[in-house]
Amino acid sequence: PSRLKTALSLGYDIGNWIASQRRSLHSFDAHIVLSRASVEVLTRYGVDSRRIQVSRLGTHHLSPRKRAWTSWGAAQVNARPMRVIFVGRLEFVKGVALLADAASQFSAAELQLDIYGPPGDAHATVESFAAKPGSPIRTLGPLADGDVLERMSESDFVAIPSQFFETGPFTAVEALQAGTPILGSNAPSLNEFVVDGQNGWLVERSNVKAWRDALRRAIDQPDRAGQMRQSLAYPRSMQDVANEMLSIYERITNAQAG
C-alpha cells in the first residue's frame, strides 16, 4: 500500500538518501574529478584520496587564438573603454547581476561590459542596469559556440563572477584558449585556474564593492591586461584529456587483472 509522506518523514528520507550516496562513493575503483576542490569534497566523505584522479577540462576548439593587443600608452588611455565580456546563463548563481551592479557605476566612456547568454532568473535585474542612461552594459543574447573565442579574444578581460562551486569551469578554459585574462571569483575550482596577477585577478565573489574595485583597477591599469595576455598559458586540448582518460582506464584494468 502507498504510504502518506509528511514533513515529519522528510529528515528520515534525506538521511537514507545521503547514506546510499556515501555507500556508492566507496563502490568505485576510481573517481575522476575536474579540480582539487572536488578532491577535498570526496575525501571529506571518506573516499580514499589514492582513488581520486584530477583530470582538468580541455578545449574542443581546434587552435589557439591570441588577438594582437596594442598597449595603452599615456596618450591612448582615453581612446576606448576597457572591454569586459561575460558569457553564461543570466542567473544569480552565475554572478551576472552582481557584475552588472558593479559595472553600472561606470560610464560607457570608461567601460564596455558585453553580456552574452540565455535568459535566466537574473535577466530582469541585469536588463534594469543595462537600461540606465549612459550605462556601459550591453545585453546581447546567446552566443553561438563558434563565436565564443572570437568575442573573448576581442575583449580585455573575461568576467566569471560565479557565486557557487564551479566544477570546471569551462568558461575559464575558453578564456585562456582565447588568450584573454580573467576577472574571476575567488571560489573553489575557479581559483585553481586564475593565478592572481598572472593570468587574471581574483575577486571576493559576493562583494559588489570588490568587483567595482576590480573593474576600477582594470580601467586605471590598462597595460596590465596586455601584459597578462602575453604571458598566460593555453589550456590543454580534448585530445590530451582523451589520452589521459585512456591511461587511467588502462591502469585500473591492469590492476584488476593482476
- Give me the pLDDT at residue 162, please: 96
- Give me the pLDDT at residue 77, please: 47
- Give me the pLDDT at residue 53, please: 87
Q: Which helix (H) or strand (E) holds 218?
A: helix 208-220
Grid coordinates belonging to 179: 588568450
As to burial, measured by CB atoms within 10 angstroms (0-12 exposed, 13-18 middle, 19+ buried), residue 115 is buried
Beta strands in the chain (DSSP E): 31-33, 52-54, 82-87, 111-116, 137-139, 157-160, 182-185, 200-203
What are the pLDDT tens digits along the chain (258 aa)? Answer: 445 556 666 666 777 777 777 777 777 888 888 888 889 888 988 888 888 888 888 887 655 555 555 554 444 545 789 999 999 999 999 999 999 999 999 999 999 999 999 999 999 999 999 999 999 999 999 999 889 998 998 899 999 999 988 887 889 999 998 889 999 999 998 999 899 999 999 999 999 999 999 999 999 998 888 889 887 888 888 888 899 989 988 888 887 776
Give the chain's end-to-end CA distance (angstroms, integer): 49
Q: How many residues does the chain have?
A: 258
Strand partners, 119: 90
- Cell 585577478 belongs to 201
Helix (H, G, I), strand (E, B) or coil at 59: strand
Q: How far apart are CA 95 and CA 86, in angstroms?
A: 10
pTM of the shown model: 0.83
What 3 state SS string does 96-117 have? Answer: HHHHHHHHCCCCCCCEEEEEEC
